[in-house]
Amino acid sequence: MKDIVNFLFEVGMLQRTPRTGFQFLGSGCESVAEHILRTLFIGYSLCKLSPGLDETKVLKLCLIHDLPEARTGDMNYVNKKYVTVNENKAVRELTETLCFGNEIKSVIAE
């Protein structure tokens, strides 16, 4: 249970992790968690417009796609030119103690 509690605490950090694209552009602010929420609603809406989509899969992709940013932070276009982020290490260490860690790794890899 301790590993899941630690995971949920880390997920909570996404609400304090700013998206740097807005800072780079000089206007607005949004956390990674706010971005994920909007992404979930976009995915949900797209599934309703395209009944053949696997809604569960789409929503998992939307939910988990930026999870590593709880450890790495959000890097904008310019940051990525100069800073190397080891997302594989972040994902591995984030998921290695979770009973559902392999599922998270698989979704992020996709």
Categorize the per-residue pLDDT at 10 as very low, low, confident or very high, splitting at 50, 70 and 90. Answer: very high
- In the chain, what is the straight-line distance between the N-terminal and C-terminal CA atoms, in Å? 27
- Alpha carbons 73 and 86: distance in angstroms, whole number: 11
- Alpha carbons 100 and 110: distance in angstroms, whole number: 16
pTM of the model: 0.89
Q: For residue 24, is pLDDT > 80?
A: no
Task: Report the pLDDT value the prediction gives residue 23, as an integer from 0 to 100.
Answer: 75
Average pLDDT over residues 35-40: 97
Q: For residue 22, is pLDDT > 80?
A: no
Phi–psi pair at 18, nearest 5 degrees: -75, 145
Q: What letter would DSSP give residue 14?
A: G
- Alpha carbons 21 and 84: distance in angstroms, whole number: 17
Task: Report the pLDDT value the prediction gives residue 27, as an integer from 0 to 100.
Answer: 74
- Burial classification of residue 99, based on how many CB atoms lie within 10 Å of its CB (0-12 exposed, 13-18 middle, 19 or more buried): exposed
- Alpha carbons 72 and 66: distance in angstroms, whole number: 10
